[in-house]
Chains A and B, each alone.
Chain A
Amino acid sequence: MKILSLCLYQWRGNNITEPKLLASAYELSSFGFFKRKTVQEWCVFISDTLVKRTNESQRQSVKENDYLCHVHNRFDNLACVAVCDSEYTPRVAFALLNKVMDDFSELYGNKLGKLEEYPFEQIGQLLTKFQDPNQVDKLSKIQRTLDETTIVLQDTIEKVLERGEKLENLVDRSEVLSMQSKQFYKTAKKHNSCCIIC
């Protein structure tokens, strides 16, 4: 049970058309050297897409092969995405997302949109701390049921996309993915398998 990546975005604020990546952290040591870069780019790409396709004050969990991506789009223009594997307790994942956004808004609450860079080291520390959900579970044990906003569970990432949109088109148009990742996606598709991040 592990978390692969944690990305924090600014979304729906002043003059913002694309989600702006504020801070991110990755834990990719279980992948081979050659796959790490591709996996990282894919995590960012999926996080981007999910943030755009989640409504305000909504939580979603999207399943893609063996991985489960949790996204929380909050009311204060912040959005956070965690890409985890299917074993990781979702409740703890959402607690993590909350914590990241809370800590960030403590530091930079009023200055959102005014600064150019937002150095936020704690995101890496939180990622490593939450790799073992049991140690951090005291928080979630006391709150056994989450608050009223329900979590929507989606089976594949394609259900999140709008009508007529295809994942292929998004991949081609994406600025985040390098040539390598796009090529990897195309060859994986050719072999009749879905884009597998493993």
Chain B
Amino acid sequence: MEGERIYTKLQQIFNSGQKIKEFGVIFEHVSVNSEYYPLFFEEGNLGVHYQNILPLLQFSLCLFNQRSTLSEKEILILTKILLLVNPGFVTALNKRRTYLYNGSINPEKELDYLDILLARHPKIQELWIYRFDILEEYFKQNKNQINNINNKNPNNNNNNKKENNNVNSNSNSSSSNNNKEENNNNNNKNNKEINERLEKEFSICSKCADIYPRNYYAWTYRIKLWKHLSDPLSLLLEELNVTMKQFVKKHLSDYSALNYRQFLLKEIETQLKKKKKKKKKKQQDEILDLYFQELLFISHLQTNYPGFESTWQHRKFVLKFIANRQKKTFFKMDLEIRKEWEMILEDQVSDLENENLLKLNQQIRLRLAPIYKIFLDEFNFEESENEQNEQTENSEQTENNEQTENNEQTKNNEQTKNNEKNLQLLNHISLKNCFSFDIEMIYCQMVLLDYEVSNFHQQRSCGGSYKIWLIEFVRNNSYDLNLNTILQSSIKLMKKYDTTHKNLWKNKLKLIENSKKIKKK
């Protein structure tokens, strides 16, 4: 029987205790002389030929139906093999769960086994639920170990109760110094173990989110992990600033990653509030700083990687928070800037290659660059080592804008002077001080203009709905905005781009509705 032969071979491999990193299906036959014939097993990679999978499955299912006659050990191996081939088989999974609570299964090894299953099938809900149960069991057993160690020292009875509640805190009471040191050592070991385990869990979540984007189960599991830490603030910040930034840059269309960043921001806020050491104002300032940094980060992504709707959706979240916290400054009107973006909106309709528009383009980019800290490379805001590089880059910029050769030198000088001024500005201007709705609108217009100039048609439609949402948001909170100009220019835009911009039609209707509301009021 084919199935039985493969089953026994697999049993051998599992019982030998060798570490299995991956399981896969192979399409070539293994040579008869190899050690694990008919299986492929090298350096932890276990492979079964695709023609052998069905017989293996049939045999194991047959055995499984007779499980009442089998011993515990046999059932453990049987379920292990069954789940390798068919990880969605919930009955086998539940059987393993009973043995987990029984104590027959080592949680750590079970977590490693689950890694193999998840690498092939990252989107099976039952596996993630099971993984969470294993993790809870693992932490329970860890706590019990510490309690057992401490119980051996009779002087530590007072400490035990505290340790039951706070695994990570260092408890101090009226015990001798030696016992204190032992306690601290145990707690530190435990901390290390917990942190190591959590790092592994985070990495498996990232891996599964990489294989299957917007993997709901992986991300919700990741969120649940934070409950196991009692003092997570520094880790949260590291996750926000380091690991998640790298992940988001590699997976820009994965909105779940950005949603996770939103969770992290909220969680940091609650954790900061728990720490009552600092005054409320300082706390709120800290939190607001985080959100501004987030806005800078997302602006970078939008300008450097155009065409991802997920970044614009995330921007909505960040903007709502900031606008609600800084109502007075956000909704305050800035006439100069307002004229600028309304002008861009009108010029956009007439002629994109208009010289004046390009000049304005350049000016606005120079103005936006220090605020949002974008376009930095283009304008060479960072102190450069060679002045020659600056001059060559300046000449390239001016070539793009103007074609007269006589004025180049004088304009080069102007550019360098401007750049110097702006370098000084870079250090003084921060997004916080000058952020308002008008600045945000000008940023939108700028970025969307960039998208329109670029060749690839996919990038053009992104961000349009964000602009409309922004206008509505401001309308709902203040009445400073004159909708008529926006309405007229958006209608003109639609006529220019015809049917390719369906979103604009929706916008038109919404704007009309809003303007009607104004008339009524």
A residues within 8 Å of B by Cβ? 1-2, 30, 32-35, 86-87, 89-91, 132-134, 137-138, 141-142, 144-146, 151, 178-181, 183-184, 187, 198
Contacts and interface: CB of A to CB of B under 8 A. Distances in A.
B47 A34 contact: yes
A134 B27 contact: no
Given A33-B45, A144-B453, A145-B455, 14 more contacts: A2-B250, A30-B210, A30-B211, A34-B24, A34-B26, A35-B24, A87-B308, A91-B454, A133-B305, A141-B378, A145-B454, A146-B455, A180-B28, A183-B27
Contacts of B251: 1, 87
A184 B26 CA distance: 9
Contacts of A146: 455
A132 B249 contact: yes
In the A-B complex, the 4 residue pairs with the smallest Cβ-Cβ separation, listed nearest first, are: A34-B24, A180-B27, A183-B27, A33-B45
Contacts of B26: 34, 180
Contacts of A184: 27
Contact of B28 (A89, A91, A133, A179): A179
Interface of B is mostly: mixed
A34 B45 contact: yes
B374 to A, nearest CB: 11
A184 B305 CA distance: 35
A187 B50 contact: yes
Contacts of B378: 141-142
- Residue of B22, B306, B378, B455 with highest tally of chain A CB at under 10 A: B455
Given A34-B22, A87-B251, A137-B304, A142 B28 contact: no
Interface size class of B (residues with CB under 8 A): 20 to 34
B377 interface: yes
Contacts of A179: 27-28
Contacts of B198: none
B479 interface: no
A95 B38 CA distance: 47
19 contacts: A1-B252, A1-B305, A30-B210, A32-B24, A32-B120, A33-B24, A33-B45, A34-B45, A35-B24, A87-B253, A89-B305, A91-B454, A141-B377, A144-B453, A151-B456, A179-B27, A183-B27, A183-B50, A187-B50
B142 to A, nearest CB: 31
Interface string B1-23: 00000000000000000000110
A89 B455 CA distance: 11
Contacts, number: 66
Contacts of A144: 453-454
B232 to A, nearest CB: 29
- Residue of A87, A90, A141, A178 with highest tally of chain B CB at under 10 A: A87
- Residue of A2, A33, A86, A142 with highest tally of chain B CB at under 10 A: A33
Contacts of B253: 86-87
A88 B113 CA distance: 34
Given A141-B377, A144-B454, A187-B50, A134 B304 contact: yes
B40 to A, nearest CB: 9
A33 B304 contact: no
B119 interface: yes
Given A32-B119, A180-B26, A187-B50, A145 B252 contact: no
Contacts of B305: 1, 89, 133-134
A34 B25 CA distance: 7
Contacts of B308: 87
B250 A1 contact: yes
B25 to A, nearest CB: 7
Nearest to B308: A87
Interface string B429-469: 00000000000000000000000011110000000000000
B396 interface: yes
A132 B47 CA distance: 33
Interface in B194-239: 210-211
Contacts of A133: 305
A179 B307 CA distance: 40
B396 A142 contact: yes
Contacts of B210: 30
A33 B26 CA distance: 10
A89 B50 CA distance: 37
Nearest to A146: B455
A144 B449 CA distance: 12
Nearest to A86: B253
A36 to B, nearest CB: 10
Contacts of B377: 138, 141
Nearest to A178: B28
A136 B27 CA distance: 40
A33 B116 CA distance: 12
A42 B210 CA distance: 21
A89 B120 CA distance: 28
A132 B246 CA distance: 11
A12 B446 CA distance: 45
B110 to A, nearest CB: 21
Interface string B299-316: 000001111100000000
Contacts of B250: 1-2
Given A1-B252, A32-B24, A91 B455 contact: yes
Contacts of A33: 21-22, 24, 45
A145 B453 contact: yes
A4 to B, nearest CB: 14
Nearest to B254: A87
Interface in B401-445: none
Contacts of B454: 91, 144-145
Interface in B246-277: 249-253
Contacts of A90: 456
Given A1-B252, A89-B305, A134-B305, A32 B22 contact: yes
Contacts of B45: 33-34
Contacts of A86: 253
A129 to B, nearest CB: 15
A184 B50 CA distance: 10
Nearest to B246: A132
A90 B26 CA distance: 34
Contacts of A198: 211
A162 B21 CA distance: 44
A91 B456 contact: yes
A45 B72 CA distance: 50
A91 B307 CA distance: 12
Nearest to B397: A142
A27 to B, nearest CB: 12
